[in-house]
Amino acid sequence: MRKVSIALLLFTAITLFQFCSSSKKTTAASAPVTTYDGNIKPLIEASCAPCHIAGKGNKKALDNFANASAEADEMIERIQKNPGDHGFMPMRNSKLPDSSIAIFVDWKKTGLKEK
């Protein structure tokens, strides 16, 4: 009976240590964070220029964090549309790859971080 109790205690301890492993915490903490400076600004410069850089004409300027974060919902809505849909962006260009759209969505989901 005592051997069974020790074995059960040992099994429980191993199971608990498996779920409390610091390697899982490290992985979650070290996951890259989507930021305006690191991820969004380069996409805007590549896909939304020259129209939304310095707000040419009546276009909204998205060349700084304050403006882009204020327009995040609309940007995501418009880049998710299909060419030919009213409001599709980037106008007169191909639809952004799903991976690029996912970066915008992740930026919004993780709190619109600047840096």
Same domain flag for 2 and 45: no
Tell me the C-alpha distance between 79 and 21, whole Å.
Answer: 40
- The C-alpha torsion from 34 through 38 and 40 to 43, rounded to 10°, is -130
The whole domain housing 21 covers 1-31
Q: Which two tokens stand for residue 80?
A: 């998710």
CB 89: neighbour CB atoms within 10 A? 21
Same domain flag for 24 and 41: no
Q: Which two tokens stand for residue 88?
A: 């599709």
pLDDT of residue 27: 52
Would residue 115 count as lying in a domain?
no
Same domain flag for 54 and 25: no
In a structure prediction context, what are the per-residue pLDDT tens digits for the chain, which is 115 residues long?
556 555 545 555 565 556 655 555 555 567 789 999 999 999 999 999 888 987 677 888 999 999 999 999 999 999 999 999 999 999 989 999 999 999 999 999 999 999 9
Same domain flag for 17 and 54: no
Taking the model in full, what pTM does it have? Answer: 0.72
Same domain flag for 26 and 43: no
Would residue 56 count as lying in a domain?
yes
Q: Which of 39, 33, 48 is nearest to 110 (CA)?
A: 33
SS3 64: coil
